[in-house]
Structure 1
């Protein structure tokens, strides 16, 4: 048993073979217990501190992606944060995106009037950056098929042409080594590889966010929130907290404990475990005559033409996803080699 799996063994007791982390991760038992305790406390009239768990989760996420906590804002969805970035762009700005990227990343730019959105193949996105490009927005790992963007090439091309970068790390943060500080903005949901409850998301911003305006600023965006409850907020937080949404303490309680577990294990160990299982699945698929989408080094494996098998597999206690007609399997801490072998056998391999 590898290090990551041994450290996580007592945290997960799934009742089925869950291979759909790219859709939603499993909540660690320590996080589930903490949420139950918080619910009981709320029912008894002593709800958890509104900011404590959220700020602990913010700090954990910051350490996982290698930036100071002062550069991390917390909220509930990627689309909300992407919308802030879209709103900050000037009229006539060009946004460069990848074909078929996740809607929560790209759609806010399409619905924002006055922008030009140009879409190109993922593998060629860096070479399509021009002097006209104001922002490159791309997922680190593609949701549909697990392909990894060449982020180093994107970053260098953007710098060479004076463009900013927005990277969606929703399918990367938690297993892939991801340095958020290398990009202008990053976004990520918490309920997939970060193992947090749904309703948690993160935005990272530069030390000097430039034109990014805190359009959603409520009282929690104040430098001293409890002194900012009435009337205009005169003193916004001097850091990324000015972009915070009002936290839901119960979901952030779960996030605090989930991210703490990932910190204890370490992204490198998690990634080694996840990718090893994905490579085992790719090898078994190829041997059985199937052709997965090429995505070396990814924890996500997608197989064209097999998406319709997802429902039947669910009846056998194997949870995978049907995405764009493909069967998508995603491997994480609670998965083992026997899970891979069970899926291959169920597919007739």
Structure 2
């Protein structure tokens, strides 16, 4: 397990909520930020704040070095071949929409297929729905097994020569399922399709190697991996990105502008119109440094052990139903407590200082497949401990007792 002293590096965790020490278990929604990330953003604004790429003055040079340095760090972090393959975006949602609006619009037509799963986050579903509506393409779904996993046999049966895009989350934000992306990429490529990977829930929690996965596009959000909100990235294979048209036009992304025609800068800047998210990129670079200092394998093993411990402890509560496969490899545990509405569960837990998520988690088709309207979700990160799990279990037992008394 990762040392409990890691928690001390996150100032926000050192507080009481409703008279109880905070236990933060909503990391799949957003992670907390360590001091070195906060200080990196603060230092940028205090010492280096300037626009990038344009100015020759000292502040502009320092800001540009910090911004492009963050791109280099992220490229190494996910093992991209080149910084030209890293496009800074506002996050995973923006990156997925960019692929759908640019690559999808140019390469998907009537009668073509886009393959998804039922457990996709709305960010990796709605852009493809809209693309299918615009082009006349067909959406197809790899079926789920009873435990929420998919099989490669079902993927083989769903992906055909008419498939142009396979879009899938590396890790489900609800079920905690880790999909076999490398094998799915091989199937997609065999049929001439590209694979788009939603990496929002994988990048913060495990080692990611986009070359080994052989994915064509990979998206991520900084705010889930200890970085600020409003910054993320799109990775794309260079040849694909070079063939794609930008989706935002204006300053910074142009090479030459005439009265009637314009040309674009080379990668990656042709996709980064306007003043970029400079401070966010600086914070993302600091977050990458922080995570690498701890080690992604250590983080993955820590969360895997926490999830196993949580499953074991939650099984002690009669009437609590955990969704998804047992022995999951990531720190996401989704459950319902009998007939108590998840929002009520979350409210009572908050009164005890414990932050969890409740709702449909931007996965309404999956909720319907589970035959529920919503669920509660506890999600762990590197600063969580077994003591946090014990607090959760104790609070859930009190919650169950409270509603049993209320319902009398």
Name the TM-score, length of structure 1 as normaliser. 0.88
- Shift in Å at residue 199 of structure 1? 0.4
Task: Give 1:65 shift.
Answer: 1.5
SS of residue paired to 1:262: helix
Aligned to 1:346: 395
Residue of structure 2 equivalent to 1:310: 346
1:105 — aligned with what? 124
- Please report how far the alpha carbon of residue 7 of structure 1 lies from its aligned counterpart in structure 2 after TM superposition: 7.2
Query: Hey, what does 1:74 align to over in structure 2?
Result: 88
State yes or no: 1:138 paired with 2:174.
no
CA separation in 2, counterparts of 1:44 and 1:188?
A: 26
Given that 2:50 and 2:63 are in contact with CA atoms closer than 8 Å, whether structure 1 keeps it comes out as no
SS in 2 for 1:146: coil
- Give distance in 2, aligned partners of 1:229 and 1:319: 51
Distance in 2, matches of 1:7 and 1:242, equals: 43
CA distance 1:201–1:219, shift in 2 (3 Å): same
Q: 2:229 aligns with which of 189, 192, 198?
A: 198
Q: Does residue 1:240 correspond to 2:271, yes or no?
A: no
- Give the whole-Å Cα distance in 1 for the aligned partners of 2:215 and 2:87: 15
Task: Say whether 1:121 aligns with 2:143.
Answer: yes
Cα 1:313/1:6, change in 2 over 3 Å? closer
Decide whether the 8 Å contact of 1:50 with 1:248 is kept in 2: no
In the other structure, the counterpart of 1:58 is: 71
- 1:12 counterpart = 2:6: no
Distance in 2, matches of 1:77 and 1:244, equals 13
Q: Which runs of 5+ in 2 are unaligned?
A: 16-21, 52-57, 145-149, 361-373, 399-408
Q: Does 1:257 align with 2:271?
A: no
Separation in 1 of the partners of 2:247 and 2:322? 43
Query: Which residue pairs with 1:280 in the alignment?
Result: 309
Q: Give me the whole-angstrom Cα distance separating, in 2, the residues matched to 1:42 and 1:61.
A: 21
The SS at the match of 1:84 is helix
Q: CA deviation at 1:141?
A: 1.0
The yes-or-no answer on 1:29 pairing with 2:35 is yes
**Structure 1: how far apart are the matches of 2:143 and 2:206?**
22
- When residues 230 and 298 of structure 1 are mapped into structure 2, their CA distance, relative to the original with a 3 A threshold, is farther
TM-score (norm 2): 0.76
Deviation, structure 1 residue 220: 3.1
CA distance in 2, matches of 1:250, 1:230: 32
Q: Secondary structure at the match of 1:174?
A: coil
RMSD: 2.7
Counterparts of 1:7 and 1:269, CA distance in 2: 15
What is the CA–CA distance in structure 2 between the aligned matches of 1:304 and 1:284, rounded to whole Å? 15
2:370: which partner in 1? none
**For 1:204, what is the secondary structure of its paired residue?**
strand
Identify which range, 18-27 or 58-67, moves more after superposition.
58-67
- d(CA) in 1 for partners of 2:258 and 2:291? 38
Question: How many residues are matched?
Answer: 341
Residue 283 of structure 1 aligns to a residue whose secondary structure is helix
* CA distance in 1: counterparts of 2:380 and 2:258, whole angstroms: 47
1:148 and 1:320 map into 2 onto residues whose CA distance is: 21
Conserved? CA contact 1:144–1:323, under 8 Å: no
Structure 1: 4+ residue segments shifted above 6 A: 42-48, 228-232
- Does the CA contact (< 8 Å) of 1:77 and 1:201 recur in 2? yes
Mark the CA change 1:51 to 1:7 in structure 2 (over 3 Å): closer, same or farther. Answer: farther
> Deviation digits for residues 105-130 of structure 1, max 9, x if unmatched?
22112123013222333515623111
Partner deviation per Cα, 1:155-180 (whole Å, 9 max, x = no partner): 22212211110000001102123222
Please list, as runs of the form range in 1=range in 2, the aligned pairs for 1:150-165 lying within 5 A after superposition.
Answer: 150-165=180-195
1:322 Cα deviation after fit: 0.8
Instruction: State the shift of 1:76 in Å.
Output: 0.5
After superposition, the Cα gap between the structure-2 partners of 1:106 and 1:10, relative to the gap in structure 1 and judged at 3 Å, is same
CA apart distance, 1:302: 0.7
1:86 counterpart residue number: 100
Q: State the shift of 1:24 in Å.
A: 0.7
Describe the SS at the equivalent of 1:220: coil
